[in-house]
Structure 1
Amino acid sequence: MRRTDSASARPGEVEVAASVVVPTRGRPQLLNRCLASLVLQRFDPARFEIIVVDDGPDDDTREVVAGWAAHTAGQGPRITYIPSMGPHGPAAARNHGWRAARGGIIAFTDDDTIARADWLKNGLRAFEGSVDAVSGRIVMPLSHTPTDYELDAKQLETAEFVTANCFCRRQVLDDLGGFDERFRFAWREDSDLQFRLLEYQASIVYEPKAVMMHPIRPAGWGVSLQQVKKVQFDALLYKKHPALYRRKIRSKPRWDFYITVAALFACVITAAAGATAPALVAGLLWLGMTGRFCMQRLKRTSKAPGHVAEMVVTSALIPPLAVFWRMVGAIRFRAGLL
């Protein structure tokens, strides 16, 4: 039987209904914008608090939080700064935050989001009856034809459950043990929590009126190559929840990447051995698979010359990098083929 949430208010204090947890690391300007939107929530400021967990403490971040805490003292929500001597990753930072929280409901977001003024009110309103967790709506505005990076990031809008905008009863987090801190990057830790909530038979509802704006941050040339490293944590998610991973994340392994890399290796090896015909066949297969991948990425994205050049180069590099990091994850977490 589940235990009920216990009140944390002392005599004479107003009970805190919710605690907003914001992990951050080295982005004081974005955090400042996020906190500005949180302190302006149309919700009784005495009934919610904001907890900022700094995963790799620095003076600029500490000063931003201190400035807002001083600004809201006595007239706004209580704001707490927690240094986490990391970096340990956002999963560990969120655990630090909710475990220090006073609210019975924990609201999670990121430091690069902007909450609409009624975000918290609408998110909390969705907790009726036996609801255990709420997933809010993410909006990532774009006014132009996106780049591949922007289109990929915009998929967050259709994700079922993301830590940039979700709410969970503290008691449920306590029962589950919070986030799995082995997810060291901002990748798949939210899916892991969602899958564990489903296995816990938690009631999860979607509340479209709890809106969080999530502007897409500018990114440099070749950003996709930096992000490939994250796929190693797919192995951990797959090991923990193989059926849910296949149903909700990826229905089958990335055979296209494996074929592309196998063709590349075959071309190099046969060419080195002087087998011209097999090398030519393997090379054409690699070229065809790489071209197919590149065209898929360009289908709905910008055709600017610089972006096209980026897609050509990175489409050749991503498959071998992705296979490498998938193998790293499979070995590290002793998981099956991804």
Structure 2
Amino acid sequence: MKKEMKISVVIPTYRRPELLMECIHALARQHFDRGDFEVLVVSDGPDAATKKVVSSWKATGLLQLKYLCLQHKGGPAAARNKGWKNAAGKIIAFTDDDCRPDPEWLNRIWQHHRQDEDLVAYTGKVVVPMPEPGEITDHAYNTAHLSEAEFITANCACTKRALELTGGFDERFTMAWREDSDLEFNFLRHGIPIRYLPVARVVHPVRKSSWGSSLWDQRKGIFNALLFRKYPSLYKTRIKQAPPLKYYIMAGSLVAFMICLLLGNLPAAALLLGCWIVTWLYFTGQRLLNTSRQPSHMLEMLYTSAFIPLLSIYWHFYGSIKYRAFFL
């Protein structure tokens, strides 16, 4: 008789073979019977390098490893759905390719699972090692907030039955943003308990980011609107994220400055430009308060702080219109 699989680990990934290699290496060090868990790596689109990494690990025989691939890029939510739907485990554990599960991770999850519970979810502890104080970038500072998240796919698990009941991840979340909160709220709506397991730990190192990447990150604001549309009450009480007042002051000052300049009202234009500069420098100073003062980083903060408010407001209203969810 075939032995029942206890846990399936699902890892979405795309074109990050070096990070994936380290994640799989951490799973190979689990203090958990290798016959009791499997690892499903799901590539978010065709990726030869990722397939090669999985094949090389499969050849070692150290893990029960499967490689799955989406035909077209659909985002981590779609990749995770493909993973759990092809999983054999009673419990589905999720982590990301840039994470390092603690050797006791799976063991702690299984120890705290009551075998008579078919509908339950778990959220573990995410540890973000930080650089030396003088080397903390804005990106690292924001990444550190992951350790405070109440439910995050870098470290969560649930019964497969819970995913079948709720439908799993909403694939309209095509970026790595809010798809985990959406799953959490879906569990809550169905009355599925979510238990916090601080002993189930995953390390989430701060990975390198490209210069000015915070500008691209503003696009994630689209999915705040989608989450608000689906769960307005939970969003208001647990997320509460929208462009802050200073963003509107900066954007409004800049637009009014241009209008006054076109109308030839130079005194008013000068006053409005001064207002924008003061707010811009204040915003930059806030971002530098607990982060690096290296010249390159300071220049990046000055540059990105000038554009973040406009981009944040733009994507916020873009999402609000797209999903018909208007909120401030």
- Corresponding residue number in structure 1 for 2:35: 46
SS in 1 for 2:197: strand
Contact 1:62–1:81 (CA under 8 A) maintained in structure 2: yes
- Corresponding residue number in structure 2 for 1:219: 209
Q: Given the superposition, is the C-alpha separation of residues 117 and 251 from structure 1 closer, same or farther in structure 2, using an over 3 Å criterion?
A: closer
Distance 2:33 2:213 in 1: 41
1:273 partner amino acid: L
Q: 1:135 aligns with which of 106, 118, 123?
A: 123
Contact 1:253–1:337 (CA under 8 A) maintained in structure 2: no
Contact 1:236–1:335 (CA under 8 A) maintained in structure 2: yes
Distance 1:265 1:70 in 2: 60
1:39 partner amino acid: A
Q: Does 1:294 align with 2:284?
A: yes
Q: 1:2-38 deviations in whole A, cap 9, x for unaligned?
A: xxxxxxxxxx211101100011100111111111111
Runs of 4+ more than 4 Å apart: none
- Corresponding residue number in structure 1 for 2:16: 27
- Corresponding residue number in structure 2 for 1:333: 323
Q: 2:145 aligns with which of 155, 179, 183?
A: 155
- Corresponding residue number in structure 2 for 1:91: 77
- Corresponding residue number in structure 2 for 1:111: 97
Q: Does 1:233 align with 2:219?
A: no
Q: CA deviation at 1:115?
A: 1.2
Q: 1:50-77 deviations in whole A, cap 9, x for unaligned?
A: 11111112221111111111212xxx43
Same amino acid, percent of matched pairs: 42
Distance 1:181 1:252 in 2: 22
- Corresponding residue number in structure 1 for 2:254: 264
Task: Give the root-mean-square deviation of aligned CA atoms.
Answer: 1.4
1:295 partner amino acid: G
Q: 1:299-331 deviations in whole A, cap 9, x for unaligned?
A: 111111221111111111100011111111111
- Structure 1 window deviating more from structure 2 (324-333 vs 249-258): it is 249-258
Q: Does 1:57 align with 2:72?
A: no
Contact 1:261–1:320 (CA under 8 A) maintained in structure 2: yes
Distance 1:292 1:299 in 2: 10
- Corresponding residue number in structure 1 for 2:56: 67
Contact 2:243–2:316 (CA under 8 A) maintained in structure 1: no
- Structure 1 window deviating more from structure 2 (197-206 vs 183-192): it is 197-206
Q: 2:168 aligns with which of 161, 172, 178?
A: 178
Which segments of 5 or more consecutive residues in structure 2 lack a partner in the other structure? none
Distance 1:266 1:196 in 2: 43
- Corresponding residue number in structure 2 for 1:78: 64
Which segments of 5 or more consecutive residues in structure 1 lack a partner in the other structure? 1-11
Contact 2:243–2:312 (CA under 8 A) maintained in structure 1: no
Q: CA deviation at 1:253?
A: 5.2
Q: CA deviation at 1:281?
A: 2.6
Distance 2:201 2:186 in 1: 24
SS in 2 for 1:50: strand
Q: CA deviation at 1:109?
A: 0.5
1:100 partner amino acid: N
Q: CA deviation at 1:297?
A: 0.6
Contact 1:24–1:53 (CA under 8 A) maintained in structure 2: yes
Distance 2:202 2:241 in 1: 29
Distance 1:176 1:66 in 2: 32
* Equivalent residue runs for 1:181-200 within 5 Å: 181-200=171-190
Contact 1:47–1:77 (CA under 8 A) maintained in structure 2: no
Distance 1:274 1:104 in 2: 70
Name the count of aligned residue pairs.
Answer: 324
Distance 2:48 2:265 in 1: 61
Superposition TM-score, scaled by structure 1 size: 0.92
Q: Does 1:278 align with 2:278?
A: no
Q: CA deviation at 1:206?
A: 1.0
Superposition TM-score, scaled by structure 2 size: 0.95
